[in-house]
Amino acid sequence: MNAWVAAAAVMLGLLLPAGLLTMRGDVIDRVVAMQLSTTIAALALLLLAEAADRDVYFDLAVVTTVLSFVGSLFYLRSLEAWL
Residue 66 within a domain: yes
Residue 44 within a domain: yes
CA 12 – CA 19 distance, rounded (Å): 11
Write down the pTM of the prediction. 0.83
Q: Dihedrals φ, ψ of 52, to 5°?
A: -90, -10
pLDDT of residue 1: 78
Residue 83 within a domain: no
Q: What average pLDDT does range 54-82 have in this prediction?
A: 86
CA 39 – CA 2 distance, rounded (Å): 22
Residue 74 within a domain: yes
pLDDT over threshold 70, residue 83: no
Instruction: Transcribe 26-47 into DSSP letters.
Output: -HHHHHHHHHHHHHHHHHHHHH
**pLDDT tens digits, 12-21:** 999 999 989 9
Total structural domains in the chain? Answer: 1
CA 23 – CA 21 distance, rounded (Å): 5
pLDDT over threshold 90, residue 25: no
Q: Which range marks the domain in which residue 29 is found?
A: 3-78
Helix (H, G, I), strand (E, B) or coil at 82: coil
